[in-house]
Chains A and B, each alone.
Chain A
Amino acid sequence: MADYRALWEILGMDLEKHDVLCAVLPELYGDVYLSQQNRPEGMNYYNFVISEVHGLRIQELENHKEEGGKVVGTFCVFVPDELILAAGAIGVGLCGGSQFWIEDGEKVLPRNICPLVKAFVGAKVSGTCPYFQSCDMLVGETTCDGKKKAWEILDEYVPTYVMDLPQMKRDKDYLKWAEEIEDLKAKLEALTGNQITEEKLAAAIKLCNRKRAALKRLYDARKALNVPISGKDALLISQIAFYDNPERFIEMTNKLCDELEERIEMSKGTAAQKAPRLLITGTPMAIPNWKLHHIIEESGATVVCEETCTGTRYFENPVDESQTDMAGMIKAMADRYLHINCACFTPNDGRVEDIIRYAREYGADGVVYYNLQFCHTYNIEYKAVEKALKEAGIPVLFIETDYSNDDTGQLKTRIEAFLEMLK
């Protein structure tokens, strides 16, 4: 077996504690993923990525660093990957989705904040996440109060740069966001010593758009009557998109889509044809948070779409590729990114429209509104979403939860009752 301990040691990890985390993965992944029947063969690639999640990819980051390259960690779909790539750096998504990190997070943070923030802070302070350990700089943003203050703590461990995301969508907010993107460009140039030229940025925009197109193709396949891939497999692919090598990810995801499109032709689905189809909307699900999808699909339904940051918000709307000068490209990025409908904006009517449109496009029988505990903006926005869905005649279930398994039984009961109602 490949021995990555020497690599982890270079990264200054707590090997003993990290081993406890490693011990959980094979069993968890086996229970949630490998127990599925009728899985597309193309999922072997993502099995490989997960199996090597703290191995091969970390080695690739280390090799890049040995050649003088930089690694930049991000936490949000508003931070433009294009700039990181154009600066010759590698970007990795760092949101934490494991209960394992909560305890360490609570050592430095209050307990009553969202599990995602506690988990990523816990991952850093415990020295058990090799992605965090590989980063030369983190780029945070101001999407919520929890994150905003957590950057101050992370900055004590690794240089953390913060982008100030406007919380309204007026013309002046678009201008301000373009300025923030300009500032990040300068910061990345200083970090890497590489100038972000128009040519490099244009190439990075094309690369990121190709990744978006591959994910869109995957999601489009889920609109089929016989869904050719389970919701949890699609979620896994979205999660992997945040840290995998982009070119390899695009190639393998397109290969998988070839297989999915063949399955659609042959009416070969992963679930029973009459299985209820659900759309999930709400807060992000960072790897390895597969909890809700697992409960839903074990209960006999299929998740056909996620209107979340680990779903449609990550890939919808490409950056306009017709711009050729720096100012035009930065404006095009600002326009694309600020168009994302996150609950941190007021008002945020666009999200309600997105949910109803997706529910129809993906043929959803019902919507599950997923709220991570203590996420106030998404929690409050439920009221508007519920009202609009009721008016549209689409049933909705509100689920508030964290990463622990304490409420799994209760959630299962509520989801089964909801599915019963959809029949």
Chain B
Amino acid sequence: MEEQDYYVIFPNVNEGLKLEKQLKEKKIKYTIVPTPREISKCCGICIKYLFEDEGAVKQAAAEHGIQVSGFHALHKRKK
């Protein structure tokens, strides 16, 4: 199976920063990245996380009422 990267996108930057704060506190590994064009054509942040943390990321967002616009998986880019 081809490897995939996992992303969560937001309706605005503040929601993204709120989730970042939670992930940092819970010590869940994440990276802020520019939103891949395959997901959305609007410039802005999204958060990349590891597949095994998906449940924890969703829970962190739900617990704190953080709005997300969606969770996406993309095939890892070949260099």
Contacts and interface: CB of A to CB of B under 8 A. Distances in A.
Contacts, number: 79
Contacts of B13: 2, 52, 55-56
Say what secondary structure dominates the interface of chain A: helix
A2 B45 CA distance: 9
A1 B42 contact: yes
B34 A35 contact: no
A3 interface: yes
A320 B79 CA distance: 49
A22 interface: yes
Interface string B34-45: 111100111111
Contacts of A35: 79
B60 interface: no
B34 A29 contact: yes
Nearest to A130: B43
B43 A4 contact: yes
Contacts of B75: none
Nearest to A34: B33
Nearest to A23: B37
B44 A55 contact: yes
A26 interface: yes
A51 B40 CA distance: 13
Interface residues of B, number: 25
B14 to A, nearest CB: 9
A237 to B, nearest CB: 15
Contacts of B20: 44, 48
A47 B43 contact: no
B36 A26 contact: yes
A31 B31 CA distance: 14
A5 B44 CA distance: 12
Interface of B: 9-13, 17, 20, 30-37, 40-46, 69, 77, 79
25 contacts: A1-B35, A1-B46, A4-B43, A5-B42, A19-B41, A22-B41, A23-B41, A25-B43, A26-B33, A26-B36, A29-B33, A30-B33, A30-B77, A31-B79, A44-B20, A44-B31, A45-B32, A48-B20, A51-B34, A51-B44, A51-B45, A52-B13, A52-B44, A53-B43, A54-B43
* 5 A-B pairs closest in CB distance: A51-B45, A1-B42, A51-B34, A26-B34, A47-B32
Given A2-B12, A30-B36, A55-B44, 20 more contacts: A1-B10, A1-B40, A1-B42, A1-B46, A2-B10, A2-B42, A4-B44, A5-B42, A23-B37, A26-B35, A26-B37, A29-B34, A35-B79, A47-B32, A48-B17, A48-B20, A51-B43, A52-B13, A53-B43, A55-B13
